[in-house]
Every structure is written in C-alpha cells, then in structure tokens.
Amino acid sequence: MSFDVDLFVIGGGSGGVRAARMAAATGAKVALAEDSRLGGTCVIRGCVPKKLMVFASTFRDMPTEARAYGWDIADGGFDWSAFRGKLHAELDRLEGVYRRLLEGSGVVVHDARARLVDAHTVALSDGGRVTAKHILVATGGRPERPDLPNAHLGLVSDDVFLLEKLPKSVLIIGGGFIACEMACILNGLGVKVTQFYRGAQILRGFDDEARGLVAEAMKEQGIDLHLGTNIVEMAEAAAVKGHEAEMGADVSQMADLLPKSGEKGCPVWVKSTNGHEAVFDAVLFATGRAPNSTGLGLEDLGVAIGRRGEIVVDDYSQTAVPSIYAIGDVTNRVNLTPVAIREGMAFSKTVFEGEPTPVDHDLIPAAVFTQPELGTVGLTEEAARDQEPIEVYATSFRPMRSAFAGANARVLMKLIVSQKTRKVLGCHIVAPEAGEMIQMAAIAVKMGATKEDFDRTVAVHPTMAEELVTMRAPVRRG
C-alpha cells in the first residue's frame, strides 16, 4: 500500500518538531500539522517566556544589593508593556526559527488542526487529507481550571504572557512548579501575590527539606503563602455586595487595560476554606494540566486512553494501534521539554533508523525556577529511605554574595547516599542558579558516582557548589 508520506506528525511543539526533523534527516517523507504556533508550549507559553520573565523579575532586588556593594544606584520601576513587546518579538523570532528548521529539513508544514480518520489517514481543518505510513501524536497538554462556578473568570498560565497590564494583586491557586514560579515572577515584578495551596507543603514530590526552604524564601520575599487552603467560592467583584467600592478603587487607575467585569482576568471576590473573603485584581489557576488527547478520534481507532486522559504507549512510544505513536506531554510520562525531545528522538531511531530505542526515564534532572531555584536529580530523602538504608549529607548556609549585602537568603546542598553501594541516589540544591548546578551534578549521578567519587573531586573555591564535594559527615542515617 502506498501513502502520501512516511510520517505525519500532529503537533509542532518540542517533541513533534524534533521527531519530524530527525525522521526527515533519514530521507523519510514527513509532514507536520500545527494548529496554533510552531514551537508549542515550551517556546510560546512555557519554558522560554517564563524564563525571560524570571530574568525580568530578578532585577527588583539588584539595586539594594548593588548599593551594599558600594554602587550609587537608585531603585527603578518596571515597565511591563516595554518588556512584553520585547518578549513577544523574541517569541515571534523563535517561531520563525522553528519553521525554517522544519522546512529546511524538508518537512511539509500544515498550519491546521489535525485529527485521525483511520489508522493511516489524517484529516486537516483546512479540508486536506493526508495518508501516512506512521502517525505520531505530539499534541502536548493544556492548563485546566478547577470545576468551580465562575472559574472562567480566572487566568491560566497561558494568559499571563498575554496580559495587557500587570494586575496590582493576584491570587494564585496551586502549589506545583508552575504556581510557585509564577508567584516568584509576579512578586518580583511588583504584583502583590497571595498563594493558596490545599496541600501541607508546596512542590509535592520534591525533597521535603528543599521544598520547605523554597516555601520559607517565598514568604520572606513577601509572597502571602497559605498552605492547607483553597477557594470555595469566587465571583466577579463588581457583583458582590460590599466589595464594589474596594474593586472600584483598584480599577480606576487601570480601567483602560484591565479586563472588564465578567471577563477572564477581571477583579474577583473569593471566599477561602478558612472563611476569609477578599478581592484580587486577578486570580490565576495553576492547578494542573491535562493531555490534549480529545477530539483526535483516537478512541474510535482503538488507541488506549488512560484515566487522566493520557495516550497509553509502550516503552517505544507505540500505542495499541501499531501505526500510531505518541510522545511528550500527551502521554503524561515526565512532562518536561527535554523529555519530549528525547522521546521524539527515540521514536525516530526506532521507526526510521531500525534501532529499537526505549526511552530512558530514569534519573531525569529538573529545576524549579523559583527564587531561589531548586535543582534536583534522583530520589528524595523520603523515597530513598523507603527503598534502602541511606546516609544524608546536607548543609545550609548564607551564600557569600547576598550575606555580604546583609540579606538572609539561605542555600541548601543535600546528597542522599546508599549505605550499601555508596552511590549518590539523589542530589537536591536550593540556591541561586541551582538549575545550572544540577545539570552538572546529574552527569555524575547518572554515571553512578559514589559519595567517595564526589569527595575525590577537588572543590572550586569560592563557590556555593563546592559544598557538594566537601560534606564529610552525614547529618543522619536511616
């Protein structure tokens, strides 16, 4: 049977673009459909704009620090519209780079929504139909709002990058990495941030001491963090008796650019589980993401969909229908850009290079871009303790740079070591630039380095990371 193309990729995000380019490089005929913007979540509404906003937000405290170092420098204000213009120009540039990379590799790009008609046919929203030997679903995920009356009034992370004007106050609901990063970013940009998380501590799944330190630092920076707290009711502030005046005061100065009453992102009255009532210029839901697996016709074809909406795949990213594969966030394995890219590469090797390649999801390093950052690889102390007897090496100190400036910021360096094999099972760092540090430590951990390998490594002095190789005695065993 002959097909129009060897591979049709649905979704032009991190995973889909990499898989398409790699397959095309083998000489395969490849087409790709993207119904929004090439680059996907990471480039357009995730990692990239977020990191640029992280950078923007860190300048707030720099004048204070600079003055402590002898600089004659005054505080300044932040101009969101100037930054936003530059941000979007950069995203446009990157989107163009993605298109050129694809087209330069010979991939035919369809700017259209795609759905599957049968195991080898894709129908496009522009009316086209393409048959393919293999179909790769790389449709990513989307932010979800909670099932709560008036939840449509709240923002989700996608909306933050598009705000015409920053709100003066925001309530962030959620405790995951996106919620915490947004809290630090908006706080740094001068927004008064309140954060509710229904759990006992933010950043569930990360090492307890590491997330505890991040939570403390966030509070110290002025984020009003409430744990064990959620909202039970929300309504547009203008419609709630007794709050019209409060809302009017906020809105009068921003009337032109802030969303109007009843629109997404408008001032909202909320009642929380502790009975407290308050009005915020905006509410931001960062309560979870769902895989984009609906409306693709997958279930009709026999592709298995899991409880959380994820496409179920095997170690080679193949679904229950042999010609259909899926990678990235839509499979809800590890929802990170480098993982989606790896899955795309492994798919291409398996299907187009005759080299069956399972995806290695073990010991994936990650960073949370809060202030300070949290870098992590391997097991948390809690998970390691459940697995085997361990030793914990940890040190917490005031880093030289901010201590000199009189700030209270603290850093945590922590290694979890197997008593039996002496291997470093986990490394957790809370520090400025922890994301950069953990990338390096992750190489050693992935190679199976022991605590003694770390100890044999000469320190780089004076740095924060030198503590990783100078911790002599365990703080506890268990």
Provide the token pair at 114.
Answer: 């795609």
d(C-alpha 143, C-alpha 359), whole Å: 25
Binding mask 389-428 for ligand FAD (x = CB under 6 A): ----------------------------------------
Which part of the chain contacts ligand FAD (CB under 6 A), choosing from 43-51, 126-134, 248-256, 403-411? 43-51
Q: Are 53 and 187 in contact (CB under 8 A)?
A: no
Distances (CA, A) of 328 to 17, 41, 288, 356: 11, 11, 16, 18
Site size with ligand FAD, rule: CB under 6 A: 34
50 binds ligand FAD (CB under 6 A): yes
Phi and psi for 143 in degrees, rounded to 5? -70, 145
Using DSSP, state whether 81 is helix, strand or coil.
helix
d(C-alpha 171, C-alpha 154), whole Å: 9
The residue among 138 and 324 lying less far from ligand FAD, judged by its C-beta, is 138
CB of 162 to ligand FAD, least distance (A): 13
- Concatenate the DSSP letters of all residues of 419-455 into one string: TTT-BEEEEEEEETTHHHHHHHHHHHHHTT-BHHHHH
CB of 36 to ligand FAD, least distance (A): 4
Q: How many CA atoms lie within 13 A of 292 on its CB side?
A: 21
Which part of the chain contacts ligand FAD (CB under 6 A), choosing from 60-68, 250-258, 331-339, 408-416? 331-339
357 binds ligand FAD (CB under 6 A): no
- Burial, 197: exposed, middle or buried (Cβ in 10 Å; 0-12, 13-18, 19+)? buried
CB of 340 to ligand FAD, least distance (A): 4
CB of 354 to ligand FAD, least distance (A): 24
380 binds ligand FAD (CB under 6 A): no
Type of residue found at 377: V
d(C-alpha 459, C-alpha 467), whole Å: 8
d(C-alpha 369, C-alpha 333), whole Å: 21
Q: Which of 26, 36, 121, 229 binds ligand FAD (CB under 6 A)?
A: 36
Binding mask 100-119 for ligand FAD (x = CB under 6 A): -------------xxx----
Q: Which of 134, 243, 361, 461 is catalytic?
A: 461
186 binds ligand FAD (CB under 6 A): no
Using DSSP, state whether 18 is helix, strand or coil.
helix
CA dihedral over 174, 177, 178, 180, signed as positive or negative: positive
Residues 118-147 that bind ligand FAD (CB under 6 A): 138-140
Active site residue 461: yes
The residue among 346 and 449 lying less far from ligand FAD, judged by its C-beta, is 346
Which part of the chain contacts ligand FAD (CB under 6 A), choosing from 41-49, 213-221, 253-261, 425-433? 41-49
- Concatenate the DSSP letters of all residues of 187-205 into one string: HHTT-EEEEEESSSSSSTT
Q: How many CA atoms lie within 13 A of 218 on its CB side?
A: 36
337 binds ligand FAD (CB under 6 A): yes
Binding mask 282-321 for ligand FAD (x = CB under 6 A): ----------x---x-------------------------
The strand ranges marked E within 97-197 are 108-110, 114-118, 121-124, 129-137, 141-143, 155-156, 169-173, 192-197
CB of 337 to ligand FAD, least distance (A): 4
267 binds ligand FAD (CB under 6 A): no
* 147 contacts: CB under 8 Å, gap ≥ 6: none
CA dihedral over 328, 1, 34, 141, signed as positive or negative: negative
Distances (CA, A) of 320 to 61, 132, 331, 340, 444: 53, 17, 13, 20, 37
340 binds ligand FAD (CB under 6 A): yes
CB of 370 to ligand FAD, least distance (A): 11
The residue among 121 and 450 lying less far from ligand FAD, judged by its C-beta, is 121
Binding mask 1-30 for ligand FAD (x = CB under 6 A): ---------xxxxxxx--------------
Which part of the chain contacts ligand FAD (CB under 6 A), choosing from 207-215, 314-322, 336-344, 439-447? 336-344
The residue among 140 and 426 lying less far from ligand FAD, judged by its C-beta, is 140
Query: Where do contacts with ligand FAD occur on this chain (CB under 6 A)?
Result: 10-16, 33-36, 40-42, 46-47, 50, 113-115, 138-140, 157, 178, 292, 296, 328-329, 335-338, 340
Q: Which residues are catalytic?
A: 461
